[in-house]
Amino acid sequence: MTTTLIKGGTVVSATGRVQADVLIEGDRIAGLLQPGTTSAGLGGLEQSVDRVIDATGKYVIPGGIDPHTHMQMPFGGTEACDTFETGTRAAAWGGTTTIIDFAIQRYGERVMDGLAQWHEWANGNCAIDYGFHQIIGGIDDDSLAVMRRLPEEGVTSFKLFMAYPGVFYSDDAQIFKAMQVGAETGLMTMMHAENGPVIDILAAQLADAGKLSPYYHGISRVWQMEEEATHRAIMLSDVTKAPLYIVHVSAKQAVAQVAAARSRGQNVFAETCPQYLYLSLEENLGAPGFEGAKWVCSTPLRSRAEEHQNELWRGLRTGELSLVSTDHCPFCFKGQKEMGKDDFRAIPNGIGSVEHRVDLLYQGVVEGRITVERWVELVSTTPARMFGLYGKKGVIAPGADADIVVYDPNGHTSIGMGKTHHMNMDHSAWEGFEIDGHVDTVLSRGKVIIDGNEYLGAKGDGQFLKRGLTQYLT
Ligand code: DUC
Ligand code: ZN
Ligand code: ZN
């Protein structure tokens, strides 16, 4: 069994920070030791371990957990351009050691066939551990019955869409029935909360008026339709008593809806994503020519973004928002985003960020918006608790998987022009971002997979994680 000692670092958890050395035996954490006891006090332990990692002056944090990714997802007439292999490797470079991806059942297909397909794509290809949520695109008696079996499969959450009529859309009656299953089983209902039927009319009217550039993607997806759908989902969850998790919140008005539900005591949770914390409709979607296509995603980047961003950061600090995922759904510019050159409605929706989430959130610490403990909570500990992985993941404690990141707060990461990232994309939505901080070393179940500028992992290292129910329910 390989033993590793991470010495001299500051171990950060959601509840505090402590100077401690971390001893790893095989794929698990064996213990946290007082600094210095290792070489002298424990009979020369430092000499007897197989590997010593010097973390002096650095943070030692549990590996990032990104609970919202779409590797190789068929969508928008094409498919997301990161495979499970390329996308999980890029995640590792950025300090993420677990992803939860979305298996898909489309209308007319069987739920378990969708899940089997995603297993086939992921199995043997991932660099890091992974789990699945299940998208239910066709709620009927059959899928409702099968959903009750998802916990046996280690899939404890399903996602519904109030957007995309004719693709993934569920109407209120279908949502209500699915939520009743959620309430009965404890499965988390995840919701894309935008009023798709109304947005599609607005988009068609803009297109008819010749407003066809990427900018109008953002104009068509008005914040009112995010607020309205968020409120409707919350009311449906109140009646059914289903736990509810709103994905990719971008509008401050939706944050307010979530906050109000939480203050009433409802089991309502929400995530936001880095793009909504940093990017804007005017500057990004409105970039010259067709450039704005790089930032077409849904929910969209918002106008007067600073007002929304301040509320999102406030929500992250206060707990109104529970965590930050990426909604990693990458499409190349050439050949994919270009499909919508003449009509924004044909631009595949999605941004790639799986490599940058931990770094981008760390900027919130640098800017004084969140504490270093809250950073760890938002990128690792809460995702683990929210989606039934805590104890094994999301914490540095004896018995937990040794998924660990050594993060240098004095390091620097440039997301420069050109290919300075590892995602399988021909551009980056984050080009030009300069990050204070750097992912130095990443361990996945005790194996060093990132060592400075070297990737030491391998395709197939990652294992499927059977998840338990969310830990946020009483
Ligand atoms: N919603 C998602 O959650 N992911 C990709 C596209 C979308 O609209
Ligand atoms: Zn969505
Ligand atoms: Zn998504």
Over the stretch 354-386, which tens digit does the pLDDT of each residue have? Answer: 999 999 999 999 999 999 999 999 999 999 999
Q: Is the pLDDT of residue 118 over 60?
A: yes
Pocket test for ligand 1, best of 68, 72, 327 (most atoms within 8 A of CB): 327
Q: Compute the distance between CA of residue 148 and CA of residue 136 in angstroms, rounded to an integer.
A: 12
Cα(298) to ligand 1 centroid in Å equals 6
Per-residue pLDDT reduced to its tens digit, 398-435: 999 999 999 999 999 999 766 789 999 999 999 999 99
- Tell me the mean pLDDT in the region 257-286: 98
Helix (H, G, I), strand (E, B) or coil at 321: coil
pLDDT at site 474: 73
For β-strands 96-105 and 129-136, DSSP reports them as parallel
Whether residue 327 has its Cβ less than 6 Å from ligand 1: yes
Angstrom distance (rounded) from CA 317 to CA 444:
28
pLDDT at position 57, please?
Answer: 98
pLDDT per position as a tens digit, 309-319: 999 999 999 99
User: Distance (Å, rounded) from C-alpha 272 to C-alpha 256?
Assistant: 13
Question: From the CA of 221, which ligand is nearest?
Answer: 1
pLDDT band at residue 44 under the 50/70/90 scheme: low
350 lines ligand 1 (CB under 6 A): yes
Q: What are phi and psi of 32, to 5 degrees?
A: -105, 130
Q: What pLDDT sits at residue 46?
A: 66
What is the Å distance from ligand 2's center to 402 Cα? 31
Q: What is the pLDDT of residue 162?
A: 98
Q: Is the pLDDT of residue 440 over 80?
A: yes
227: confidence class by pLDDT, cuts 50, 70, 90: very high
DSSP state letter for 355: T
Provide the percentage of residues in the chain whose pLDDT is more than 90.
96
Q: Which domains does the chain have, with CATH numbers?
A: 3-61+396-455 (2.30.40.10), 64-386 (3.20.20.140)
The whole-model pTM stands at 0.97
Q: Which ligand is nearest to the CA of 331?
A: 1
Q: Is 298's C-beta closer than 6 angstroms to any atom of ligand 1?
A: yes
Task: Summarize pLDDT for 273-283 with one digit per residue, the tens.
Answer: 999 999 999 99
Structure confidence by residue, pLDDT tens digits, 85-106: 999 999 999 999 999 999 999 9
The encoded tokens of residue 359 equal 């770094």
**113: confidence class by pLDDT, cuts 50, 70, 90:** very high
In the predicted structure, residue 42 carries a pLDDT above the cut 90: no
Q: Is the pLDDT reported for residue 43 higher than 60?
A: no
355 Cα to the center of ligand 3, angstroms: 16
Query: So what's the pLDDT on residue 38?
Result: 57
**What are the DSSP E strand ranges found in 57-173?**
59-62, 64-69, 74-75, 78-79, 96-105, 129-136, 157-161
Query: Is the pLDDT score of 21 beyond 80?
Result: yes
Whole-number pLDDT of residue 48:
85
Compute the average pLDDT of residues 340-351.
98
**Residue 252, ligand 1, Cβ within 6 A:** no
For residues 12-25, average pLDDT: 98
| Å from CA of 328 to ligand 1 middle | 9
